[in-house]
């Protein structure tokens, strides 16, 4: 099954967004948080790409953790799930000590689907910002 087609994971979980909005206690804080996530998402993907393609395990792990946690915080469930899968693969690489060959292979398997999902997530969240009157 293609990771992007995982029917078990919502692209964006509205319950998480509602909880985030309630926790931040105002529309402005919630909107700023989402805008920050959207602004940082391409940078997180680029950092992940760099780490994988240069076989820098530490950089790749840092990037995938950042992507996972930030995605979970805004309810980007599918993207977070992909990051979790890649994190597991990175852990396996660390145990085997094969970063030089394995990380570029992981890049070829994971970057396309992650990038595509990030684009879909951006469209979904940006649409929510527009609907809320922020744009």
Q: Which domains does the chain carry?
A: 29-129 (1.20.120.160)
**pLDDT per residue of the chain (135 residues) written in tens, 0 to 9:** 344 446 568 999 999 988 988 888 766 888 889 999 999 999 999 999 999 999 999 999 999 999 999 999 999 999 999 999 999 999 999 888 888 999 999 999 999 999 999 999 999 998 866 566 555
- Residue 38's pLDDT is 96
CB 38 within 8 A of CB 71: no
- Residue 9's pLDDT is 81
Straight-line distance from the first to the last Cα atom of the chain, in angstroms, rounded to the nearest whole number: 36
- Residue 1's pLDDT is 35
Instruction: Of 30, 35, 91, 39, give the one whose Cα is nearest residue 65.
Output: 91
- Residue 4's pLDDT is 46
- Residue 75's pLDDT is 95
- Residue 130's pLDDT is 59
């Amino acid at each position: 099954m293609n990771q992007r087609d995982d029917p078990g994971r919502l692209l964006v979980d509205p319950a998480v967004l509602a909880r985030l909005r309630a926790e931040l206690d105002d529309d402005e804080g919630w909107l700023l948080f989402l805008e920050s996530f959207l602004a940082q998402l391409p940078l997180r993907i680029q950092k992940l790409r760099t780490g994988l393609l240069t076989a820098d395990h530490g950089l790749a792990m840092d990037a995938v953790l950042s992507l996972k946690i930030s995605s979970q915080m805004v309810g980007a469930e599918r993207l977070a799930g992909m990051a979790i899968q890649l994190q597991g693969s990175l852990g396996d690489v660390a145990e085997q000590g094969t970063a030089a060959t394995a990380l570029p292979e992981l890049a070829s398997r994971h970057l396309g689907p992650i990038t595509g999902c990030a684009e879909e997530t951006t469209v979904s969240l940006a649409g929510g910002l527009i609907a809320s009157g922020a744009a």
